Structure 1
Amino acid sequence: MKLLIIGGTGKTGRQLIKQGLEQGHELTVLVRKSGKVKVNHPKLRILQGDVLKPETMTAAFKDQNAVLSALGHKRFIIRTTILSRGTANIIEAMENSRVNRLVCITSLGINDSRFRLGLYYTLFTIPFILFFYFQDKAKQEKMIMNSDLEWTIVRPGQLFNGKKRRKYKLGPKEGHYIFTKFISRADVAHFMLQEVQDRKYLNKAVGITY
């Protein structure tokens, strides 16, 4: 497939690039700074653009079969709208380019998965550290759900840099109210690439943990 990856310089995005190339896909990666992608491959194209500046990213969506978004940032404590504004621009660009399939990573603990990231996150991390970030993620999800795209929202548990096991739990009720469930970025990428083709969770938000 011809896949556009957004957020390819992040840790999950790097796994999407690595595994996408291993699977033989033709990848376009949209990045703000092209030098941050340290991979050279005949099926990899790097385009410089900013999701907050729609005019810089239009070309990236041309002739794509699907978009994989691992969009994120590190501005957690201050009020932010980067995810929701960026996603609004992604949706508009997809509609204008007639690209219908979107697989986007968010997180457990958002909207109807609230409290499912465990007590530590529910009572401390989200309200005191990630409040604005998760608030923006919630808006991001609702924008995707209200769009006319063929979307899948992927809600991982706590991410870590483990190996790809290819064995994980999936479902709308995944996660735990008391204990924090974990998942490797490699397995999240594995599922996203699988789902973009299988479409098992079309127009659904699905949790993923071990």
Structure 2
Amino acid sequence: MAQFWDYFLDESQVLQALLQAKVEVGEILPKTFAVKAFCELKQVKTSPETKIKDQDKVPSQTEKEKTEMRLENVNSILMRKALEEEKAELNEKIHKLAKGLKLKQQTSVWLKLKKLLMLGATGQTGQFLVRQALEQGHVVRAAVRTPSKLTIQHESLTVVKANIFSANNLLGHFNEQDAIMSCLEFPIRLFSGVTSSAESIKAIVAAMRQAQVTRIITMSSWYTKPQTSHQDSWVLRWFFLLVIHKALINMHEIENYLSKECQDLNWTVVRPPGLLNAPKTDKELLIHEGYYVPDPDEIPVANSVAPGDAARFMLSLLKGDPWIKKAVAMATK
């Protein structure tokens, strides 16, 4: 395809036409030719055959009109090209904006969660959970058996007395909440059949359904399924786990109940290892969908974690939904 300057006999005629049309060289010509033309104008390096002289014949009116028409056509072509490029750039921006808007719509339901109902707020992990939630700007309602045990004071914290085994009692506290977060801890009873944690989940779920609250994040433990601790140390397997064996069975019952009976709820079970009495750290969180967090050799990466870090991970789940309807083990690096 011929370029527009091919219609001229030589470069000097192009320069002459440009000067007469009073146009900016760099604005309408491709860079390669514009630079060349600009050099011609600045350095006035012309051969005897192409040198523009004062006595050169001035183009006739007809020739001038033709030149201007050609330049006008060129300018139109270049403007159209610029508009096409601008349109393509705009379309790309619109596409990115639409993609971002879609992502925002998908996650906004979790980002706006501000009203949190806490269960087990007087426990070791529960107190860290309450403090961190308040630090992040959430409005917290702590439903506890003994309100006097929760000494945290904050303008965004309400402490109420509740019976976790009564759906009717919980319903009044669950109304208008965005999510339920449970760190319920039950005493280990060596000589009793079961603890009472498995019984409470049914009342909690019933109250959630009546209050139309669909999000629950609850804390469990590593090794809730029998035989999943086979890779851990002998001491842990035959002493500590034997002591808390019944509690682990109860936690497993809760996990099964959520998995099989609560498909209408957006539940997540968080499984930390043993809990130390320590605040949150800046350590990297290690996460694995399973009953413990393994290293490359399938050996558990840790035996304990700070309750503050368990609380930190639980609150992080409010920002998205990668673990909806899943049980996830966590630890720190």
Same fold per superposition (TM over 0.5): yes
Range moving further from structure 2, 164-173 or 113-122: 113-122
Find the counterpart in structure 1 of residue 253 from structure 2. Answer: 139
Letter of the 1:204 partner, please give it. Answer: K
> Is 2:180 the counterpart of 1:67?
yes
- What do residues 74-124 of structure 1 show as CA deviations (whole Å, max 9, x unaligned)? 133122241111011111111111100111100000128821782333332
- Report if the CA contact (8 A) 1:31-1:47 is conserved: yes
Structure 2 CA distance for aligned equivalents of residues 117 and 138 of structure 1 = 19
> Is 2:287 the counterpart of 1:165?
no
Find the counterpart in structure 1 of residue 5 from structure 2. Answer: none
User: CA 1:100 to 1:117, structure 2 compared with 1: closer, same or farther past 3 Å?
Assistant: farther
> Is 2:300 the counterpart of 1:183?
no
Structure 2 CA distance for aligned equivalents of residues 14 and 175 of structure 1 = 25
User: CA 1:126 to 1:207, structure 2 compared with 1: closer, same or farther past 3 Å?
Assistant: same
Q: CA deviation at 1:11?
A: 0.6
> Is 2:136 the counterpart of 1:23?
yes
Q: CA deviation at 1:178?
A: 5.5
User: CA 1:198 to 1:113, structure 2 compared with 1: closer, same or farther past 3 Å?
Assistant: farther
Structure 1 CA distance for aligned equivalents of residues 309 and 125 of structure 2 = 9
Structure 2 CA distance for aligned equivalents of residues 171 and 101 of structure 1 = 21
Find the counterpart in structure 2 of residue 205 from structure 1. Answer: 327
Find the counterpart in structure 2 of residue 83 from structure 1. Answer: 197
Letter of the 2:254 partner, please give it. Answer: Q
Structure 2 CA distance for aligned equivalents of residues 7 and 209 of structure 1 = 21
Range moving further from structure 2, 54-63 or 90-99: 54-63
Structure 2 CA distance for aligned equivalents of residues 112 and 193 of structure 1 = 28
> Is 2:268 the counterpart of 1:152?
yes
- What do residues 128-148 of structure 1 show as CA deviations (whole Å, max 9, x unaligned)? x11221111111111111212
* 3-state SS in 1 of match to 2:267: strand
Structure 2 CA distance for aligned equivalents of residues 163 and 201 of structure 1 = 24
* 3-state SS in 1 of match to 2:330: strand
Structure 2 CA distance for aligned equivalents of residues 12 and 117 of structure 1 = 26
- What do residues 18-64 of structure 1 show as CA deviations (whole Å, max 9, x unaligned)? 00000000001010111111012111111101112333222110001
Structure 2 CA distance for aligned equivalents of residues 25 and 115 of structure 1 = 36
* 3-state SS in 1 of match to 2:305: strand
* 3-state SS in 1 of match to 2:177: coil
Structure 1 CA distance for aligned equivalents of residues 180 and 148 of structure 2 = 21
User: CA 1:117 to 1:182, structure 2 compared with 1: closer, same or farther past 3 Å?
Assistant: farther
- Report if the CA contact (8 A) 1:102-1:149 is conserved: yes
- Report if the CA contact (8 A) 1:101-1:196 is conserved: no
Q: Answer with 1 or 2: which has the greater Rg.
A: 2
Range moving further from structure 2, 37-46 or 161-170: 161-170
Structure 1 CA distance for aligned equivalents of residues 215 and 123 of structure 2 = 21
**Length, aligned pairs only:** 209
Sequence identity percentage: 25
- Report if the CA contact (8 A) 1:175-1:181 is conserved: no
Structure 1 runs (4+) greater than 4 angstroms displaced: 176-180
TM (norm. structure 2) is: 0.59
- Calculate the aligned-residue CA RMSD, in Å: 1.9
Structure with the larger strand share: 1
TM (norm. structure 1) is: 0.92
Structure 2 CA distance for aligned equivalents of residues 153 and 113 of structure 1 = 19
Find the counterpart in structure 2 of residue 52 from structure 1. Answer: 165
- Report if the CA contact (8 A) 2:168-2:207 is conserved: no
Range moving further from structure 2, 13-22 or 80-89: 80-89
Letter of the 2:187 partner, please give it. Answer: K
> Is 2:241 the counterpart of 1:123?
no
- Report if the CA contact (8 A) 2:276-2:305 is conserved: yes
